[in-house]
Amino acid sequence: MDNTKIYKMAFASVYPHYINKAEKKGRTKEEVHTIIQWLTGYDEKALQEQLDNKNDFETFFGQAQLHPNASKITGVICGYRIEEIEEPLMKKIRYLDKLIDELAKGKKMEKILRT
């Protein structure tokens, strides 16, 4: 599968969808930020810079410091088992998708953040 199109998408173009998905299920923008910051190591300022600069997913995750427990994120998202995704960047994107999905499904934050 050619993932180039996804990798070149601006994170800022997908970000509102993460927020909308969470808020439709009674969760908050702050919780989405907590998840993104936990996964990427970005603080609020660095996350805002990523959004303002309209960095693509390749740059967004290339500049991130992935959380050491990210490998504990498992399961199926978008029809793919995360543990079986070989492409490192796609795996990181799916990690984030999975965490947002868990938030929208009502999981407790401590479970989502693999603490």
41-76 pLDDT tens trace: 999 999 999 999 999 999 999 999 999 999 999 999
pLDDT recorded at residue 78: 84
pLDDT in the model for residue 3: 80
Q: Is the pLDDT of residue 31 over 90?
A: yes
Q: What CATH superfamily is the domain 8-106?
A: uncharacterized protein sp1917 domain (1.10.8.290)
Closest CA to 89 of 62, 112, 63: 62
- The reported pLDDT for the residue numbered 2 is 66
Where are the chain's structural domains?
Answer: 8-106
Q: Residue 1: is its pLDDT beyond 60?
A: no
